[in-house]
């Protein structure tokens, strides 16, 4: 009886210490992030298009915005200047002079929306409307022959695009020199 009691004491002590340890595993620092706060900050677009907002934009509208906002750095036809070349180069990746562009190198079309929205134009990032970002994405894809010149893109159609270099990436085999 006595030993049973002491066993109980040990078990209770263990439970108390476990609860204590659990409480200690959190510090109670920080405050909850509200859904509004999260949706205001979370601008990540998945490679499958997850997170793409509503709205749409046409190639022709994209051309107008591109000329106003992008051509100074990227060239009128996205041939590149201070900014990266964005068009052409398909079929060059395995040659001595690979040309890496959205059309030849980028594996996923939704990444284009993600990047333009978060970082472009360089002098005023996050200033374009979602419609304008769809439009500029459409224009760049059309310059690469990936969508037709009369295309209009939205969340569904952008996510459905299969980029030419989609399967052009592999993992890290290093150490590769021994």
Partner 1 sequence: MTRQNDSRDNARTTRRHLLRAGAAAGGTMIVAGLSGREAVAASEATDNLPPNVPEWMKTPGEPMGGQSYGTPSPFEKHVVKNISKNLPQYLSASGRTPLQDLDGIITPNGLFYERHHGGVPAIDPEQHRLMIHGLVERPLIFTVDDIRRFPSESRIHFLECSGNPTYKKPFGKTASDLVGLLSCAEWTGVSLKLVLQEAGLQPGAKWVVAEGADAAALTRSIPIEKCLDDALLVYSQNGERLRPQQGYPLRLLLPGFEGNMNVKWLRRLHVTSEPAYSREETSKYTDLMPDGVAREFTFYMEAKSIITRPSGGQRLTDRGFHEITGIAWSGRGKISKVEVSVDGGESWQDAKLQEPILTRALTRFRLPWQWNGQPTVIQSRAIDETGYVQPTLAELIAVRGDNSFYHNNAIWPWQIGAEGEVSNALA
Binding site for partner 1 (CB under 8 A): 25-27, 29-33, 37-38, 41-44, 46-47, 82, 93-94, 96, 98, 100, 102, 105-108, 111, 114-115, 118-119, 122, 125-126, 168-178
Q: Which two tokens stand for residue 106?
A: 């980028």
Smallest distance, partner 1 to C-beta of residue 81, A: 9
Instruction: Give the nearer residue to partner 1 in terms of CB position, either 16 or 43.
Output: 43
Instruction: Give the nearer residue to partner 1 in terms of CB position, either 5 or 175.
Output: 175
Instruction: Give the nearer residue to partner 1 in terms of CB position, either 3 or 25.
Output: 25
- The CA distance from 56 to 141, in Å, is 14
- The CA distance from 40 to 16, in Å, is 42
Q: Which two tokens stand for residue 6?
A: 């002491």
Q: Are 93 and 104 in contact (CB under 8 A)?
A: yes
- Measured from the Cβ of residue 116, the count of other Cβ atoms closer than 10 Å reads 20
Smallest distance, partner 1 to C-beta of residue 119, A: 5
Instruction: Give the nearer residue to partner 1 in terms of CB position, either 17 or 42.
Output: 42
Smallest distance, partner 1 to C-beta of residue 163, A: 10
Instruction: Give the nearer residue to partner 1 in terms of CB position, either 106 or 134.
Output: 106
Smallest distance, partner 1 to C-beta of residue 178, A: 8
Smallest distance, partner 1 to C-beta of residue 151, A: 22
**How far, CA to CA in Å, does 49 sit from each of 38, 82, 138, 161?**
18, 29, 15, 10
- Sign for the CA dihedral angle at 81, 87, 88, 89 comes to positive
């Amino acid at each position: 009886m006595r030993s049973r009691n002491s066993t109980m004491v040990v078990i209770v002590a263990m439970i108390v210490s476990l609860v204590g340890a659990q409480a200690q595993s959190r510090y109670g620092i920080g405050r909850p992030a509200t859904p509004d706060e999260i949706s205001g900050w979370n601008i990540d677009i998945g490679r499958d298009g997850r997170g793409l907002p509503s709205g749409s934009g046409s190639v022709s509208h994209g051309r107008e915005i591109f000329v106003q906002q992008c051509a100074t750095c990227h060239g009128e036809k996205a041939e590149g200047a201070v900014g990266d070349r964005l068009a052409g180069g398909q079929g060059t990746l395995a040659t001595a002079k690979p040309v890496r562009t959205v059309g030849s190198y980028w594996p996923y079309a939704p990444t284009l929306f993600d990047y333009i929205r978060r970082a472009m134009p360089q002098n005023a990032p996050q200033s374009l409307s979602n419609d304008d970002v769809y439009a500029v994405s459409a224009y760049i894809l059309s310059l690469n022959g990936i969508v037709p010149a009369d295309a209009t893109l939205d969340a569904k159609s952008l996510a459905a695009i299969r980029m030419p270099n989609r399967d052009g990436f592999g993992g890290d085999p290093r150490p590769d020199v021994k």
